[in-house]
């Protein structure tokens, strides 16, 4: 039961990460254009943030790993996406006025907007591996399966967003739905954790 | 008769063989320069090969080959003597040349995102920036935002940054058009060539109509392109537009362009479905709509 839940959550995490990355281009375009370096900035920020997230997530899993803390990562991710709705435009305007070069402008803006939530979401994968692995000899297989599920989620997040969501919804609505999905994941994990605590 | 035709074909065949004289992959696209007879064309895609961006007649370099290039002059019917011109999307640099001849004193800011296009225009299309021209290699949205911050305005703005294959989405939204409008003088004109078709067509018209009090479309029988002409104040009367066209006949002769059809086909009430959803920075599935 818990295993299936962890895979479901890792899938959603992967889905959300790539959906946000794709929307990133949309969000930055009005201020920094859609030149190739704008995509370069976004991808760089996501890669750096994910790599740090993997590192921190792995470290975090050493101490008292629990499904409850796992759920907290999702809730944290959802909350860190918050500033995107409220302050996104004023933040990009500030960067735009301060930084003349759109390369560094877009890098700085993607850093400010996407870095923290992506670090948080990057912690999900290593933490999932820790929760799933029961014996040393299966660790590689479990990690492989986990990467399969979360990367497949990323693929669907990319496809869904670029083919359909942007046709159906506004950018803010998609972001809201993604945050909602993360919150739901967090709630599911906390629910799953509850009985264990009572016992 | 048939024999004569066959003979003619035989004579013409070598001259009409298309020859790729330059090919390069820039950061944004594949750029091809193709000679066919005396016509030299700039192409951005290989496969759907008949999408020429810009063409030059090597024997008669002034001749405007494409109807759409002529149609981009429609703004002159309502703003006959522009002083500050802004062109987004350089192509082969054909239109800047025309404006240099028509309005030699006017300054021209030419914004092109792709450095390689500027180089190709200079090398293969005889594009020579004059002292009046400034070329900016930049994204147009960024350029306009910076210009607005410095209070710069233009009285003739041309948007020609769209190809049939990919349309920059952030250059079609209501917010972008509001930025363009802010950069336009009170009696200035915006002329846009956007390649819109299918579901995008209505969305585009509706969005322009929401931003600009005066909107017209120009279509000619000889092409599927349409040009949108927009102003912040009501258009001059049909008589005034006709008079402006008449005045343009002589100077445009050199470019093998007749302005009269532009005045005749200047439709000041372009139609679109009432319930069309506007394109905004939040909602701009431009390329998806184009395919529907």
Whether residue B4 is contained in a domain is answered as no
CATH number at residue B100: 3.40.50.150
In this complex, the residue of A32, A96, A172 whose CB is nearest that of residue B282 is A172
Provide the chain B residues 13-72 that lie in CB contact (below 8 A) with chain A.
Answer: 27-28
pLDDT given at position A196: 53
Whole-number Å distance between alpha carbons of A95 and A93: 5
Q: Is B177 helix (H, G, I), strand (E, B) or coil?
A: helix
For the annotated catalytic residues of B, the residue numbers are: 160
This prediction's pTM: 0.88
Whether residue B30 is contained in a domain is answered as no
> In angstroms, what CA-CA distances link B175 with A144, B54, B168, B213?
45, 29, 14, 15
pLDDT given at position B51: 63
Query: If you count residue pairs, one on A and one on B, with CB atoms under 8 Å apart, how many are there?
Result: 55
CB under 8 Å to B200, separation ≥6 — which residues? B167, B286, B289, B290, B292
Q: B217 near B228, Cβ under 8 Å?
A: yes
Q: Does B178 touch chain A (CB under 8 A)?
A: no
The domain in which residue B178 lies consists of: 67-291
Chain segment B159-212, per-residue pLDDT in tens = 998 776 678 899 999 999 999 999 999 999 999 987 777 788 899 999 999 999
Q: B245 near B252, Cβ under 8 Å?
A: no
Q: Does B141 touch chain A (CB under 8 A)?
A: yes
Q: Does A171 touch chain B (CB under 8 A)?
A: yes
Examine the pLDDT at B67 and tell me if it is beyond 80.
yes
Higher per-residue confidence, B74 vs B166: B74
Structurally, chain B folds into a number of domains equal to 1
The values of phi and psi at residue B106, to 5°, are -65, 140
Taking contacts as CB-CB distances below 8 angstroms, the residues of chain A near B170 are: 29-30, 33-34
Whether residue B78 is contained in a domain is answered as yes
Domains along chain A with CATH numbers: 2-198 (1.20.1250.20)
Identify the burial level of A57 via C-beta atoms within 10 angstroms of its C-beta, where 0-12 means exposed, 13-18 middle and 19 or more buried. Answer: buried
Whether residue B120 is contained in a domain is answered as yes
Chain segment B12-66, per-residue pLDDT in tens = 555 567 888 898 888 888 888 888 888 898 888 755 555 667 888 888 888 888 8
Whether residue B5 is contained in a domain is answered as no
Query: CA of A28, closest CA in chain B: separation in Å?
Result: 10
In this complex, the residue of A33, A166, A169 whose CB is nearest that of residue B142 is A33
Whether residue B9 is contained in a domain is answered as no
In the structure encoding, which two tokens stand for residue A85, read together? 């709705």
* Contact (CB<8Å) B282/A102: no
Whole-number Å distance between alpha carbons of B207 and B289: 14
Q: Is A149 helix (H, G, I), strand (E, B) or coil?
A: helix
In this complex, the residue of A26, A36, A170 whose CB is nearest that of residue B28 is A36
CB under 8 Å to B164, separation ≥6 — which residues? B48, B51, B195
In this complex, the residue of B141, B173, B283 whose CB is nearest that of residue A33 is B141
Compare all CA atoms of chain B with the CA of A171 and give the residue at the minimum distance: B282
In the structure encoding, which two tokens stand for residue B195, read together? 């390649």
Whether residue B23 is contained in a domain is answered as no
Query: CA of B23, closest CA in chain A: separation in Å?
Result: 20
ipTM exceeding the 0.90 mark: no
**Residue B267: beta bridge partners?**
B217
Whether residue B201 is contained in a domain is answered as yes
Q: Mean pLDDT across the stretch A65-69?
A: 94
Test the A interface: residue of B167, B169, B285, B286 with most A CBs within 10 Å: B285
């Amino acid at each position: 039961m818990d295993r299936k839940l962890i895979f479901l959550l890792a899938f959603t995490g992967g889905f959300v990460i790539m959906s946000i990355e794709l929307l990133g281009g949309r969000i930055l375009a009005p201020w920094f254009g859609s030149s190739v370096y704008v995509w370069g900035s976004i991808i760089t920020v996501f890669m750096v943030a994910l790599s740090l997230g993997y590192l921190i997530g792995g470290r975090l899993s050493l101490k008292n790993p629990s499904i409850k803390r796992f759920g907290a990562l999702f809730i944290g991710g959802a909350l860190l996406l918050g500033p995107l709705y409220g302050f996104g435009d004023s933040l990009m305007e500030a960067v735009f006025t301060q930084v003349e070069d759109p390369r560094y402008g877009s890098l700085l803006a993607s850093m400010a907007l996407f870095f923290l939530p992506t670090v948080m979401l990057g912690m999900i994968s290593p933490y999932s591996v820790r929760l799933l692995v029961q014996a040393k000899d299966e660790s590689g297989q479990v990690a492989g399966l986990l990467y399969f599920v979360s990367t497949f989620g990323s693929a669907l997040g990319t496809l869904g967003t670029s083919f359909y969501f942007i046709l159906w919804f506004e950018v803010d609505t998609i972001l809201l739905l993604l945050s909602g999905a993360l919150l739901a994941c967090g709630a599911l994990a906390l629910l799953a954790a509850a009985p264990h605590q009572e016992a | 008769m048939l024999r004569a035709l066959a003979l003619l074909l035989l004579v013409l065949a070598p001259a009409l063989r298309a020859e790729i004289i330059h090919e390069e992959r820039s950061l944004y696209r594949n750029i091809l320069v193709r000679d066919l007879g005396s016509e030299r064309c700039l192409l951005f895609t290989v496969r759907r090969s008949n999408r020429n961006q810009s063409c030059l007649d090597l024997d008669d370099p002034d001749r405007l080959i494409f109807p759409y290039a002529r149609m981009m002059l429609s703004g002159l019917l309502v703003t006959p003597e522009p002083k500050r011109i802004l062109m987004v999307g350089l192509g082969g640099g054909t239109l800047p040349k025309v404006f240099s001849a028509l309005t030699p004193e006017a300054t021209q800011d030419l914004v092109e995102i792709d450095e390689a296009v500027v180089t190709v225009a200079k090398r293969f299309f005889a594009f020579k920036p004059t002292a009046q021209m400034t070329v900016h290699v930049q994204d147009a949205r960024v350029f306009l935002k910076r210009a607005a911050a410095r209070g710069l305005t233009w009285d003739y703005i041309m948007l020609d940054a769209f190809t049939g294959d990919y349309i920059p989405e952030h250059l079609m939204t209501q917010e972008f058009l509001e930025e363009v409008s802010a950069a336009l003088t009170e009696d200035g004109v915006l002329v846009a060539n956007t390649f819109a078709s299918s579901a995008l067509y209505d969305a585009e018209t509706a969005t322009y109509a929401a931003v600009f009090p005066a909107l017209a479309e120009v279509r000619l029988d000889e092409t599927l392109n349409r040009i949108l002409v927009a102003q912040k104040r009501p258009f001059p009367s049909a008589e005034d537009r006709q008079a402006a066209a008449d005045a343009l006949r002589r100077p445009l002769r050199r470019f093998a362009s007749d302005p009269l059809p532009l005045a005749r086909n200047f439709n000041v009430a372009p139609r679109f479905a009432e319930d069309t959803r506007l394109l905004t920075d939040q909602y701009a599935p431009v390329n998806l709509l184009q395919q529907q």
